[in-house]
Structure 1
């Protein structure tokens, strides 16, 4: 591909580095920075970062595949459409649900194929959905995060599991509850399985993130407690002294810390984050009313964030800004202010509600994005939207609003904070007949093209790693390499007449 770019300077300029909540020096390699504008030399470039993500839910065939039983080519066409929609909406990250029920939407020797692909648990779809999505999305410089559910084994108790499914290999740890089946979070073998799955994914696939949502212990059904007495009794018999609720939270915390430490050791470039329920506890902050996740599903996202176990928290703020007991503005302000070990907040927005009621207009979605951006200096640097459906349908023109107003300028997501010291080399350029040929390191994710205009470097485009020949037109330009940790190199400067 040889794109010709309009020489128009957008607002995503190097001046934006002043608002970045990380030191610019951490985003440039320790090599000599030479004169700005000198061809073949290097210059520090940056732009305002923002994660613009969207969830792709496979459970119950919410988004993908749209129904069970589609053949491989039809499913691939749907994935192509998902990538097209994300690109047309100017999003830069896809959160793809690859383990909705202790199963797999990718080739796995650990867990069976998901029933949501073929209609039969364990049924081979004839291709690798995660592998295919990675190929297509990375070719558009769009990140793919593998979204896993840690403990949910079946959404419905009546569904038939594949014979190698964990509910059948460890039936004593599979509990019927609230209409579904859940593996016991207090059982070490359940925790070990999830860590094994995470390791398998990051070693075999170039995913950009590992992501959990809000399902830890199941939401209470209001009639009976979760049936984990056997594992709790075993814990007490071994000398454990925590009360039951504290023990449950401890089980989740141990799992989160294990996943975090494992990723830091074997794949530090992979971003790890969690999207918890949007209210921490009732009355926090003052005036907020709702479910208590701390004592209801035994999740403690403030601990995960303050300990630095996660790169980000994406609280599901699924209420309109006008709904005072759960107001979006109040909640994003509170979440962004929490002790965070320099971690990010990427608030979840319930895009699926757009057009469903007067409170859920496109103006409301815009207001929520703008409220998130007001907390930028506190590392609120983006949003994740649930889910892609309204963008595919362009409900109330929401895709047009994203493309033409809210996300006009290109942007990378923020760098992975725990891996910022590792900086990729700048690209090597060969210029002939006003065409630029790029050579980048093997582990590059993308490149960024900047134009020098009015004394500043302005980002024109984020280019996929497959785009190796450019004809940007007359001007002074710089191209930087982007590592898989989203850290940019210095820009290699060149001029075209």
Structure 2
């Protein structure tokens, strides 16, 4: 089997924060879109958790495999449900729903398993934290002498038996500390807030608490309550930015922001009912995305489409909007494809579904009229206020053409001194008769074969697709989902038992990049095993570098040229292989 080494795989900067389907059309899936699902673990494990059969790791794999097949690219996993943890914590007791016993160590680290398995699939893992709803109010709230539950250790912070009072600075600091521990110890992609609010109407003790804890002399009980929540969002942002500035923070607020956003329908309002000013958090840059819980249908009050438009039109600081929908409702589930269309045409950057069990049983939940809304892969939109540097290219790309398949392998890019580097990869495939520019090919999400966290991929072909000649591209994605430029290879996949063909003729390609400083890559193809000589000359015909002078196998070869010790100017490179000779020019600009 022929192996085709390729080194030419990187550097196209895609800076779009997410294609808007208002431009792409209601049904056309954009290349950049957030597609997430909430995975609930509270009680006995609504979506995941608990003992039983199959084992929890196998159930985790089943959820991730299903989410991957549905076309999702993010898991929002509940890791702090009721003041307890689905991970090893020095501050919080183990969640009872892992073993059935409050505070009992399950003997493994569930969160780390989820992170590793999600990242391997190219998915983001957002850590879902219930902020101020911190207890069940019963024996499931663990009380251990060495690590008591907050409901027992600090009852003076607790209101209505289950709510942490945001008006008490020490209570806020305790929850900030929980998030700091989580961020320090786990390679999650985001912190995701739920219940970042008061219980409806606040608490009867608030007037007394306000008189004791109001250093800014805020006027009005409602304003003071909102200030307390705002302070929490600021404190977490400041700490997370200090520890891991690349990490994202998101929130899932009440679907109705306030009066006027409810289309005339009386409802729970985030701003005035539970003192949740999520737009302020976005405006101040304390969160990166909002996932409002818009759990209603289209057309009937409160109208889903009206509320989506209200959030889009009143977005602050260009923060992303991932619209939360509720397919747990049968009425919503029947129209979920229309709700996806609505979020796209209104200009949101993605969707989030409550919750996994509500989408897991229906294989066609996103399909209507023969069109699958998630029928093509999508990359999570980059956030322009985070690091927008494109990663370096992946290295040592190798293609093994096979029988009804192509096996691709590569090495991760040089992290270029970034201590936070972690990469995903997008693999594209198109036929060699596709005459579009590389930029246009990469803009077409239908050509993405996979987004993966692995450094290998086997492209399985049908009998109909086998035997065609393809070009493959691999790009690296940064933590912020900024994409590198591609390298390419073309390859014949044959359905016969004969050795696959990899090239029909010699070809010397234009170097890339060109102009360059100080390095560039020269690529050439050979249809047969022969001696090759690749030489660089200046304009006076003087030999300045011999890049190749050896016998090479058939296939594609890529060679890097470093002109750092040469003067700026035009240079000539010439390939001689057997009776084949070709010459091209390149420009070196210091």
- Regarding TM over 0.5, the answer is yes
| Counterpart pick for 2:386 among 394, 414, 419 | 419
Query: How many Å separate the matches in 1 of 2:333 and 2:473?
Result: 40
SS at match of 2:321: strand
**What secondary structure sits across from 1:370 in the alignment?**
helix
Q: From 77, 80, 83, give the equivalent of 1:102.
A: 83
Change (3 A) 1:476 1:327: same
Would you say 1:431 and 2:415 are equivalent positions?
A: no
- Which of 288, 307, 313 is 1:311 aligned to? 288
Query: What is the aligned partner in structure 2 of residue 58 from structure 1?
Result: 41
Q: Does 1:487 align with 2:482?
A: yes
**Structure 1 residue 69, shift from structure 2 partner:** 4.1
Q: Of residues 204, 212, 216 in structure 2, which corresponds to 1:234?
A: 212
2:155 corresponds to which residue? 171
CA distance in 2, matches of 1:157, 1:218: 18
Q: Which moved more, 1:460-469 or 1:247-256?
A: 460-469
Q: Distance in 2 between matches of 1:227 and 1:69?
A: 40
Compute the displacement of 1:48 (Å).
2.3
Residue 351 of structure 2 is aligned to residue 370 of structure 1:
no
2:385 match: secondary structure: helix
- Bigger Cα Rg: 2
Give the match for residue 393 of structure 1: 361
> What residue is the counterpart of 2:233 in the other structure?
256
Q: Quick one: structure 1 residues 63 and 81, their matched pair in 2 at CA, closer, same or farther if it must change by over 3 Å? A: farther
Distance 1:17 1:258, change over 3 A: closer
- Measured in 1, the distance between the counterparts of 2:52 and 2:321 equals 37
Higher RCO (CA < 8 A, seq sep 6+): 1
Question: Are 2:423 and 2:477, in contact at CA under 8 Å, matched by a contact in 1?
Answer: yes
The 2-side partners of 1:361 and 1:70 are apart by: 29
Give distance in 1, aligned partners of 2:244 and 2:316. 22
User: Which residue number corresponds to residue 405 of structure 1?
Assistant: 372
Q: SS of 1:148's equivalent?
A: strand
Per-residue deviation, 1:89: 1.0
The CA RMSD measured in Å over matched residues stands at 2.9
Post-superposition Cα deviations, 1:223-253, rounded to whole Å, max 9, x if no partner, equal x9443344322125x5724321111100100
Q: Which residue of structure 2 lines up, in the alignment, with residue 341 of structure 1?
A: 317
In terms of fraction of residues, the more helix-rich structure is 1
Alignment partners' CA distance in 2, 1:343 and 1:18: 10
Equivalent position of 2:278 in the other structure? 301
Aligned counterparts of 2:43 and 2:277: Cα–Cα separation in 1? 27
The Cα shift of 1:15 comes to: 11
Task: Report the secondary structure of 2:237's partner residue.
Answer: helix
Give the whole-Å Cα distance in 1 for the aligned partners of 2:238 and 2:369: 36
Task: Tell me the secondary structure at the aligned position of residue 88 of structure 1.
Answer: helix
Q: Would the alpha carbon gap of residues 424 and 229 (structure 1) be closer, same or farther in structure 2, given more than 3 Å must change?
A: same
Greater share of strand: 2
Q: What is the DSSP-based 3-state SS (H/G/I as helix, E as strand, rest coil) of the residue aligned with 2:350?
A: strand
CA contact (8 A) 1:427 1:492 kept: no
Contact 1:280 1:292 in 2 (8 A): yes
2:451 pairs with one of 463, 470, 478? 463
Q: Deviations over 1:71-111 (max 9, x none)?
A: 8x711122111111211211111100000111100111111
The aligned residue for residue 156 of structure 1 is: 137
- Answer whether contact 2:84 2:94 (CA < 8 A) is retained: yes
Counterpart of 2:60 (choices 76, 79, 89) is 79
- Work out the CA distance in 2 between the residues paired with 1:384 and 1:269: 22
Gaps of 5+ in 1: 1-13, 22-46
Change (3 A) 1:336 1:427: same
Q: 2 CA distance for matches of 1:417 and 1:94?
A: 22
| Matches of 1:15 and 1:483, distance apart in 2 | 11
Q: Please, which of 127, 148, 166 is the counterpart of residue 146 of structure 1?
A: 127
Report 1:436-447 matches (<5 A). Answer: 436-441=408-413, 443-447=421-425
Deviations 1:331-378 (A, max 9, x none): 101101114211111110001113xxxx4452x1111111000023xx
- Verify: 1:327 aligned to 2:313, yes or no: no
Closer, same or farther: CA 454–69 of 1 in aligned 2, 3 Å: same
Name the CA shift for 1:437/1:264 in 2 (closer, same or farther; >3 Å).
same
Unaligned runs of 5+ in 2: 1-12, 21-29, 402-406, 416-420, 461-467, 492-501, 503-590
TM value normalised by structure 1: 0.81
Give distance in 2, aligned partners of 1:405 and 1:299. Answer: 36
CA pair 469-409 structure 1, distance change in 2 beyond 3 A: closer
Question: Which of 320, 329, 348 is the aligned partner of 1:353?
Answer: 329
Classify the secondary structure of the residue corresponding to 1:247: helix
SS of equivalent residue, structure 1 residue 61: coil
- TM superposition shift of 1:287: 2.9
Moved more, 53-62 or 90-99: 53-62
Shift of 1:59: 1.7
Distance in 2 between residues matched to 1:186 and 1:65, nearest whole Å: 33
Alignment of 1:193 onto 2:174: yes
Q: Report the Cα distance in structure 2 between the residues aligned to 1:424 and 1:194, rounded to whole angstroms.
A: 35
